[in-house]
Chain A
Amino acid sequence: MFVQLLFTMLAIGSIYGSVALGFTMIWNAAAIVNFAQGEIVMVGALLGLTFVVILGWPFPIGALVAILGTALAGVVLDRLVVRPVRKAEFWATVVATLGASIFLQNLAMILWGPEPRAFPSFFGDKPVQIGDVRVIPQTVWIVVIVMALVLLQDVLFRRTLLGRVLRAVSWDREMASILGISPNVMIAITFSISSAMAAVAGILLAPIFLVSHDMGLAITLKAFAATIVGGFGSAKGAVAGGLLIGIVEFLGAFYISSDYRDVVVFASVILVLLIRPIGILPTAESK
């Protein structure tokens, strides 16, 4: 029983972590907090639902098309909403991305209807006995896939030319553009990568929760909390923060009260900030 719960907890935590990682990538590249990131997760889940459940395509193809479609949505979001306000004050970028969040939520409600929909699990949602322990395959797959993505992202950023260029942009946008790197193109690429990751998170999350147009904001807030707890701008911190938030949320629901689990989560975030005002694993640039 405990192992089963542990995996559910880690699964939710790794979803938060992967969305938080997307947040962090966008922050590092464009110095923007994208409050529509949760809606990108929702778009991924709904596109996955459309191709796999409604149109009945095979899961790998449907999921892949959904991920590509969501990446494209991320690029459009960058071009239409983020790029025009990139140099404005932090507050203006918050309202612009919140406006995008309202827009996407309501667009999804018009296109897919207001009722939440079920998404059958591809990996199986019935507990499986492995030796002495029972685990739900879906939760194990979530943890494995997200961690694989995190490692892949790390390799991409550290070992490839594209990754080096992206890091150069996040290091010093002006210097990078003097060296002939277009920040606009690099930021668009960052949006496509982080949106693709959000789509994976949405498709993986879908069988655990119902899929609906208003699922995004809650994810945005938890992922934002994860980046903050981890130390803003730190990729490792974002993933660690996500896992931590998932664990605290689950323990709060389990030991205190399911109704008050968000109070437990957010009180813990405030507590962490009281002790360490810049999060657990801050980068040099966190402020």
Chain B
Amino acid sequence: MTITPKPWVRVVGGIMLAGVLASPPQVLANTYQIHLLNLAAISVVFALSLNVVLGFAGQISLGHAAFFGVGSYASALLTTGGQVPVLLAMPLAMLITAAFGLGVGIPTLRIGGHYLAMVTIAFGQMASVVFLNAAGITGGYNGIRAIPSVAIGTLRLAGERQVYYFLLAVCVLMIWISINLKRSMLGRSMLALREDEAAAQALGVNTMVVKIQAFVLSAALAGLAGSLYAHWVGFISPDSFTIDLSIGVFSMVLVGGVGSVPGVVFGAVLLTFLPEYLRFMKDYYRLIYGAILIIVIVFLPGGIASLASPAVASRVLGRLGLGALFRGVQDAKTTHSGS
């Protein structure tokens, strides 16, 4: 059962949502809150990039930090060493990362499951070793400093409040791309590949090409996220691009709901804010973060997005002893649609 709102509801809702999204720099006095929102926007772009290969095409990647890192370093090097304008460096960084995506995509053609998990982990580990040790290019342990921020024409977006609108725009664009990709020919081929590779082939989907396209597109978008990150923080070093980042973004997609665009957006925002709000627990915060990951997956193996399915919602709420609450909502819906 899908509820289609009336056109005027959608217009008013859209305007209200735009208002809410545009307000934080005016409303929030605390710059740290804006900082977290900016980080969340970059996380959303990054998580949606992983969702292309993992959620749509069903191919696991536990090394996505490598693509993020390549995008970061490429963009940083182009703008600091090469004097390339930031807005030009971003697409160039995406192209470079896409080439790496092609490099990872090709060896994965014959393999899947655990073997694919291994290849992507291997790629991620190799990349983090290179980031750390190829000091001539990456600056080694010291990383790269003084990366310029985004400039539109002569206007340089300095400070969290100005960057917010830029990151928000990219983030919204990314959500739009994800939703439309899912409905496109390519997206549907990816979904067919995810559901059943043999059946997809029988229906005329060239699964080899689709796998490579998924990896290349996913890598390019992860590179975009990395590039956004580099120009936002202004300083990058190898310890930002370790396997912890790959695990973090993987958790975002899984907690949100593999393949569901709203789910992944929610998962990325939640897992950006959650660790920050747990920081008051000092030494215990990572411990509790780990426990929360386990609890969410144990109760919702399909992620938070699976709550949208009434069957799952009733089962989970039932297990939590909140079955009555769910039945109440269902009753209300039935009465509403009956009237």
- Give Cα A109 to B282, complex, Å: 12
Residues of B within 8 A of A110 (CB): 283-284, 287
In the complex, whether A253 has a CB less than 8 A from a CB of chain B is no
- Give Cα A88 to B290, complex, Å: 19
Asked whether, in the complex, the Cβ of B297 is within 8 Å of the Cβ of A267, the reply is no
Asked whether, in the complex, the Cβ of A262 is within 8 Å of the Cβ of B297, the reply is no
In chain B, positions 264-295 with a C-beta closer than 8 Å to chain A are 283-284, 286-287, 289-294
In the complex, whether B250 has a CB less than 8 A from a CB of chain A is yes
A103/B294 contact (C-beta < 8 A), A110-B283, A260-B133 known? yes
- Give Cα A92 to B294, complex, Å: 9
Asked whether, in the complex, the Cβ of B118 is within 8 Å of the Cβ of A224, the reply is yes
What's the nearest-Cβ distance from chain A to residue B196, in Å? Answer: 15
Interface of B is mostly: helix
Residues of A within 8 A of B286 (CB): 102, 105-106
- Give Cα A89 to B58, complex, Å: 11
In the complex, whether B130 has a CB less than 8 A from a CB of chain A is yes
Residues of A within 8 A of B289 (CB): 102
Asked whether, in the complex, the Cβ of B119 is within 8 Å of the Cβ of A270, the reply is yes
- Give Cα A232 to B112, complex, Å: 12
Q: Which of A84, A228, A259 is the one whose CB lies under 8 Å from B298? A: A84
Residues of A within 8 A of B336 (CB): none
Asked whether, in the complex, the Cβ of A260 is within 8 Å of the Cβ of B129, the reply is yes
Residues of A within 8 A of B62 (CB): 94
Interface of A is mostly: helix
In the complex, whether B126 has a CB less than 8 A from a CB of chain A is yes
Interface locus among A144-152, A177-185, A198-206, A272-280: A272-280
In the complex, whether A81 has a CB less than 8 A from a CB of chain B is yes
A92/B122 contact (C-beta < 8 A), A217-B243, A273-B115 known? no
Asked whether, in the complex, the Cβ of A99 is within 8 Å of the Cβ of B243, the reply is no
Q: How many residues of A contact B (CB 8 A)?
A: 45
Residues of B within 8 A of A104 (CB): 290
Taken residue by residue from 244 to 287, chain A's Cβ proximity to chain B (1 for < 8 Å, 0 otherwise) reads as: 00000000000000011011001101100110011100000001
Asked whether, in the complex, the Cβ of A98 is within 8 Å of the Cβ of B247, the reply is yes
In the complex, whether B333 has a CB less than 8 A from a CB of chain A is no
Residues of A within 8 A of B117 (CB): 33, 94
Asked whether, in the complex, the Cβ of A81 is within 8 Å of the Cβ of B298, the reply is yes
Closest to A109 in B: B283
Asked whether, in the complex, the Cβ of B115 is within 8 Å of the Cβ of A101, the reply is no
* Given A102-B287, A266-B121, 18 other A-B residues pairs in contact with their CB atoms under 8 A: A85-B297, A85-B298, A90-B60, A100-B290, A102-B286, A102-B290, A103-B294, A106-B287, A106-B290, A107-B287, A224-B118, A260-B133, A266-B125, A269-B118, A273-B107, A273-B111, A274-B107, A287-B112
Instruction: Please name 5 pairs of A and B residues whose Cβ atoms are closer than 8 Å in the assembled complex, sorted by A.
Output: A81-B298, A98-B293, A102-B247, A103-B290, A105-B290
Q: Which positions in B face A, CB cutoff 8 Å?
A: 54, 60, 62, 107, 110-115, 117-119, 121-123, 125-126, 129-130, 132-133, 243, 247, 250-251, 254-255, 258, 283-284, 286-287, 289-294, 297-298, 301-302
Q: Which positions in A face B, CB cutoff 8 Å?
A: 33, 80-81, 84-85, 88-92, 94-96, 98-107, 109-110, 217, 221, 224-225, 228, 232, 259-260, 262-263, 266-267, 269-270, 273-274, 277-279, 287
